Structure 1
Amino acid sequence: MATAFPLAWPFGLPRTEAGRRVASQFKTELPAALKNVQNSLRRFGEATGKAVSSVVISSNYTLGVSNPADPGVAVWFLWDGKERCIAVDRYPRLQHNLQAIHHVLEARVTEARHGGLRIVQQTFTGFVALPAPADINGRTPAQVLGIDGRSFGREDVIAAHRALAMKLHPDRQDGDGQAMADLNAARDALLMGLPS
């Protein structure tokens, strides 16, 4: 299951670039947005007749930083026997991304009330939490790049890739085509889950 901090973004879901975030019309503050999401999860479980459990609201929020540079929010939970995740980073404020998740959940509640469980199950297939990146020849992408065991950002991934590519590129004397392919796959897997 995901962690509440730091932000555990679902693998495979592209991030919104910081310069492409848009101002929202929401006036909701953080405590109210949290309560709205919690109430929507409860209503969703009631409307579908399938309990929601193991809820984790994941973000970069801390007591010292209430509006982090990366305002993305991912709500992870178990429903209908599967781990689900609804993640939003469209807006520059954490509470507005939370409020957007509340509205997504309310739309599912409406579907359940008017269309039944099958429609909700069909629309919720897109919210199934994808597994973490597959191992690359027995190693995680971070291990392939030599940055496992520590936190890293886009710049770290790019720098590690560049340094190793200078050694492994097939055009180099001791280069290795498969090692370079693994290196590229590791870079792409990690960058997909990091903010731009």
Structure 2
Amino acid sequence: MNDISASPLSWPPGKPRTPASDRKQGRFGKRNSSGWGLKELTVAEARNRVTEALDKFTRQGQAYRVPPDSIIISTNLALRNDGFPRSGQRDPSDPGVGVYFQLDGQNQCIPCDVYSRIADNLAAIADCIEALRTLERHDASLMRAAFTGFAQLASPEAMGRPHWRTVLNTDSHDPEEVRKAYKAAQRATHPDRGGSSEAFHAVQEAWSQAKAELAM
């Protein structure tokens, strides 16, 4: 999975984005010291939930089923020295998370962007991993079937498609700057201006992805 970026976000093209207006507040957290209510999870705490859930696939004394160096947590947050998202940052406009890893040699991707905070999307992915482990304990074949869809999201065919920023040739997070980049790419690839229908279609698809990610 050498093409996966830990930052900026590498969202699997095969998974539709959740519109910003449909995102919700998460109910993840930890108990306050007073015992009343929940305290919001930090990115570090949620990140640890993900890595610990993945570690549990491996029984003590066995070879790693999920090699630690195969885990990529992809977000729009700045990174620590170990390549994981750094805690204590303001949430970006796009709170999406993609967790990429190998399970038993098979590339997998579990994405989530239904919550408005990156920490909550990470916690949701951790819960999903725990649910899949429970499924494996009851029926391993069902767990493998459930992971088929996640493997498809991480497949070379899916991930071989360039990120919309690459297609539009922009690193900007400003909607107006992205719109200008789209217009320039649209002109450059238009079949009537010497471009090709394939390149023009890729630009239109990239524009759709950009609008969904930036809530334009």
Bin for the TM-score computed over the shorter chain: 0.7 to 0.9
Q: CA deviation at 1:21?
A: 0.4
Aligned pairs for 1:154-173 (under 5 A) are 158-163=179-184, 165=186
> Which of residues 10, 29, 32 is equivalent to 1:8?
10
**What is the one-letter code of the residue matched to 1:78?**
Q
Q: CA deviation at 1:23?
A: 1.3
Q: CA deviation at 1:12?
A: 1.8
8 A contact 1:71–1:92 mirrored in 2: yes
In structure 1, what is the Cα distance between the partners aligned to 2:105 and 2:59?
16
Sort the Cα spacing of 1:162 and 1:68 in 2 relative to 1 into closer, same or farther, 3 A: closer
> Which of residues 25, 40, 51 is equivalent to 1:38?
51
8 A contact 2:190–2:200 mirrored in 1: no
Q: Choose between structure 1 and 2 for higher RCO, CA contacts under 8 A separated by at least 6 residues.
A: 1
In structure 2, what is the Cα distance between the partners aligned to 1:96 and 1:165?
36
Q: CA deviation at 1:126?
A: 0.7
**What is the one-letter code of the residue matched to 1:84?**
Q
> Which of residues 124, 130, 133 is equivalent to 1:106?
130
In structure 1, what is the Cα distance between the partners aligned to 2:74 and 2:165?
21
What's the % identity of the aligned pairs?
Answer: 34
> Which of residues 184, 190, 193 is equivalent to 2:201?
184
In structure 1, what is the Cα distance between the partners aligned to 2:55 and 2:135?
15
> Which of residues 154, 164, 171 is equivalent to 1:151?
171
In structure 2, what is the Cα distance between the partners aligned to 1:187 and 1:98?
30
Tell me the secondary structure at the aligned position of residue 44 of structure 1. coil
Segments of structure 2 that go 5 or more residues without pairing to the other structure are 31-40, 79-85
In structure 2, what is the Cα distance between the partners aligned to 1:61 and 1:142?
16
Tell me the secondary structure at the aligned position of residue 76 of structure 1. strand
TM-score normalised by structure 1 residue count: 0.76
Identify the residue that residue 120 of structure 1 maps to in structure 2. Answer: 143
- Tell me the number of residue pairs that the alignment of Structure 1 and Structure 2 aligns: 183
Segments of structure 1 that go 5 or more residues without pairing to the other structure are none
Tell me the secondary structure at the aligned position of residue 102 of structure 1. helix
In structure 1, what is the Cα distance between the partners aligned to 2:106 and 2:201?
31
Sort the Cα spacing of 1:111 and 1:155 in 2 relative to 1 into closer, same or farther, 3 A: farther
